[in-house]
A and B are shown apart, each in its own frame.
Chain A
Amino acid sequence: MTSIIKISNLKKSYENGNIKALNGIDLEIDEGDFVSIIGQSGSGKTTLLNMIGALDIGDEGSVEVAGYNLNKTKRLNDFRSKKIGFVFQLHNLIPNLSVVENVEIPLYARKMSGEKRKKKALNLLDLVGLKDKAKIKPTRLSGGERQRVAIARALVNEPSIILADEPTGSLDSQTSNDILKLLIDLHEKENVTLIIVTHDLNISKLANRQIEVLDGKITNFK
């Protein structure tokens, strides 16, 4: 197996070095793997995920993801657009746009005709089982349905890696299971690397590998 993520000695601090969010992370993740990240609140899980998705750059160390050296590349947008699909705890959908228009949003970063954008977005809505709700506003959807839309949006760019930060954090357990099932299905069918940050040990157990983070360091990786 080739590794898609290679991180060595990654450090990141905030507030002039007073908060060491990441304190020397070494990590390698295989292509097509399903990994969970657990740890206490404030341990640095989101920060780590953001570094992998190039939403932020570390102070020290190196991060290589899907062939991009994130410390050096100037094409961060390009990387985010082509390689990464983010799913957040809060769906962060745009309220005045319809469901399908929300899914189209990432495609504006690419050169693509409006027609093609729409077609792709509808395909993904079909995949998450929401094709019939394509035209309505997200405000009229349930929490689980909104998260499905967010997943469709994360996948529309055909990313190599899905980064999900507590994707079920605000859902009840039944809906939460459905969403996880959907993510895992997609991971298996499309062979996407899936990384989920979670507080929930039951969810964490579903992954092939578990990373435990404490005070900005990986304390366990199995």
Chain B
Amino acid sequence: MSNQKETLVQVRDLSVTYHTRLGPLSAVDHVSFDIYKGEILGVVGESGCGKSTMGKALMRLIMPPGEISSGHIIFDGEDVMQYDQKQLRDFRGRRISMIFQDPMTSLNPVQRVDEHLIEAIQVHEPQTPVEAALRRARTLIEKLGIQKERLRDYPHQLSGGMRQRVMIGLGLVLNADLIVADEATTSLDVIVEAKLLDEFKKLRDEFNLTILMITHNIALIAQIADRIMVMYAGQVAEIGDVTEVFDHPRHPYTEGLLRSVPNIELDEREELYKMGGEPPNLSRPPAGCRFHPRCAQAMPICAQREPELTEISPGRFVHCWLYQDHPQEVAHA
């Protein structure tokens, strides 16, 4: 990646609330970050911390009972929050596309693979004839390692790996600038997963894609991501260069998360670290820092006030009272 980073997306103060029966649930809470052109930004965090919600919110795909309750998404200089339905349709697929968590349920069961691809092309480029769209689909799908005969198959006739490749193909077919890959490889076995992640990297280089990669697999993301964003309970805990974050985690949550990653070279006597406590119920998040009840380094202020996401060194942001000045009244209390 070049040193001069060009920003593709600026997310500012983004919040998503689900209006559940038990009251409002703040799944994404005042999240701000940038996505640079051509990078792979990894997003990690425990299950339920709002990764998928954040990814969907980027394309304004939050459906009732959820809503984007605040914030701006500036995509290539335009505020996506101001788009009307028509602009949104054009934006989705063409500028930003999403590869979903579950390839088993994300394809229309009564539509053939080629119908999916052709439809995606023709919805955005109505002037493209079917044959041309089909040719494009065929080239792409072969590049992804699926024989073109498979294009006539229905989703249920494909293996999980192939289906996921089709999903990836659908994400790539319109040459979107940003691909949001939500656990795109999690449902696959380790070998296929590693191979596909490697392909992601190649595709990025070939098509100059920008990829937001949401994943549980911290070990794999470490190898392909340029930067990493750690989320906790709907908030950004830490953002930074992947090697920096992994070598010197700043946020106590990042530290705990990294220590709980199983390591093959793990010493026999050394036990895998298990972080204490549970992530909070997002309908009633704790006051102050949402992580403080589980934090070994919690201070009195952590229970009272929420820290700011602070840039502690160029490109490195941490959301923790350990790295910022405490306000006067509280510090003296």
To the question of whether A and B form a pair in one complex, the answer is no
